[in-house]
Amino acid sequence: MSNFLVTGGAGFIGSALVRGLLAKGASRVAVVDSLLTGYERNLDEVCGAIDFHRVDIRDYDALRKTMAGIDVVFHEAAIPSVPRSIAEPVPSHDVNINGTFNLLRAAKDAGVRRVIYAASSSAYGDTPVLPKVETMATAPKSPYAAQKLMGEYYMSVWASCFGLETVSLRYFNVFGPRQDPTSQYSGVLSLFISAILDRRTPTIFGDGETSRDFTYVEDVVGLNLRAAEAPASVSGKVFNAGNGGRITLNQAWDLLQKFEGVAIPPIYGPPRPGDVRDSQADTTAAVRELGHSPQVSFEAGLRATLDWYRSTRNRA
């Protein structure tokens, strides 16, 4: 097997990818993380089996050094929030665009074969048709969505101009164990799960009928691993990384109340600026060209995630 590098490897998705690579027998897995939003504890179980580099992707020289001998890079490092990109557009731009540019330069200069990029379904914006297919026009509604789309363009240009193989995977609301619930910018399901375990009232922005294609983290890992192995004909392309379903915020909160056997009506607030109303992936191209179909239903993933949060609390 090849030598791998995961940027953002101490984060929620990146650390799951690191564990997935090791489970598949990867001979070498290196991790780059600035620990801005990631945590070394996410890698506790595997720290003896990886090379950890505390490096910010905006630092070209340091990043370039971590890529010696690397075949495939998974680029997960980002400041990953729509509202944060509106509240703090400068760092968001700097990490998500300038950092991604550095990453591509360093990968090319180091002789990396392929870069797999964590793109975002937010690039679609409010398209009138669901599910969202890769051939649809994009319409970003927030700085974050625009930054992630710029990253896709850079990926395909590095493939066509510089011969670096690239694949962009548009993530659809990834959730699962280790998602950090402690920030106002955290993913909604991590906030809902913390609230239900504390028996607290959650806030739903909007009327609760906003919908998302919540995708279990292990399915995103599976798709990334396939993208690393896929033939060179996938290079330069963009694929949806979603489950294919569509769940409203009201449905998600209802299910958590059912699991826990409690009744806690949510508070409704104004919709968040930059939010997309509905999101759902067409998974056809990813299944056909990358060969991974989603394995974990929303309900099974939510139950597993709830159990994980409960067990980590019991240990603390």
Residues belonging to the active site: 144
Question: Smaller CB distance to ligand UD1: residue 39 or 60?
Answer: 39
Rule CB under 6 A: say whether 96 interacts with ligand UD1.
no
- Measured between alpha carbons, how far is 254 from 9 in angstroms, rounded to an integer? 33
* Residue 215 phi, psi dihedral angles, 5° rounding: -120, 125
Among 13, 204, 256, 290, binds ligand UD1 (CB under 6 A): 204
Among 100, 138, 147, 173, binds ligand UD1 (CB under 6 A): 173
Rule CB under 6 A: say whether 224 interacts with ligand UD1.
no
CB atoms within 10 A of CB 315: 6
Question: Smaller CB distance to ligand UD1: residue 112 or 301?
Answer: 301
Question: Smaller CB distance to ligand UD1: residue 34 or 173?
Answer: 173
Rule CB under 6 A: say whether 160 interacts with ligand UD1.
no
- Measured between alpha carbons, how far is 262 from 254 in angstroms, rounded to an integer? 10
Rule CB under 6 A: say whether 7 interacts with ligand UD1.
no
| Window contacting ligand UD1 (CB under 6 A); options: 2-10, 44-52, 74-82, 127-135 | 74-82
CB of 295 to ligand UD1, least distance (A): 19
Rule CB under 6 A: say whether 255 interacts with ligand UD1.
no
Rule CB under 6 A: say whether 30 interacts with ligand UD1.
no
Helix or strand (DSSP H, E) at 5: strand 3-7
* Residue 59 phi, psi dihedral angles, 5° rounding: -95, 95
265 closest CA partner among 256, 278, 275, 277: 256
Would you give the distance in Å from CA 130 to the centre of its chain?
21
Question: Smaller CB distance to ligand UD1: residue 80 or 222?
Answer: 80
Rule CB under 6 A: say whether 171 interacts with ligand UD1.
yes
Question: Smaller CB distance to ligand UD1: residue 187 or 245?
Answer: 187
Residues 122-141 that bind ligand UD1 (CB under 6 A): 122
- Measured between alpha carbons, how far is 139 from 81 in angstroms, rounded to an integer? 17
- Measured between alpha carbons, how far is 315 from 119 in angstroms, rounded to an integer? 34
> CB-based contacts of 153: which residues, under 8 Å, 6+ apart?
none
Helix or strand (DSSP H, E) at 214: none
Would you give the distance in Å from CA 41 to the centre of its chain?
19
CB atoms within 10 A of CB 44: 10
CB of 204 to ligand UD1, least distance (A): 4
9-177-150 Cα angle (round to 5): 45
Among 27, 203, 311, 312, binds ligand UD1 (CB under 6 A): 203
Rule CB under 6 A: say whether 121 interacts with ligand UD1.
yes
> CB-based contacts of 163: which residues, under 8 Å, 6+ apart?
none
Rule CB under 6 A: say whether 34 interacts with ligand UD1.
no
Rule CB under 6 A: say whether 249 interacts with ligand UD1.
yes
SS3 117: strand
Site string for ligand UD1, 267-286 (x = CB under 6 A): -----x--x---x-------
Q: Which residues bind ligand UD1 (CB under 6 A)?
A: 80-82, 120-122, 171-173, 185-188, 191, 203-205, 210, 212, 249, 272, 275, 279
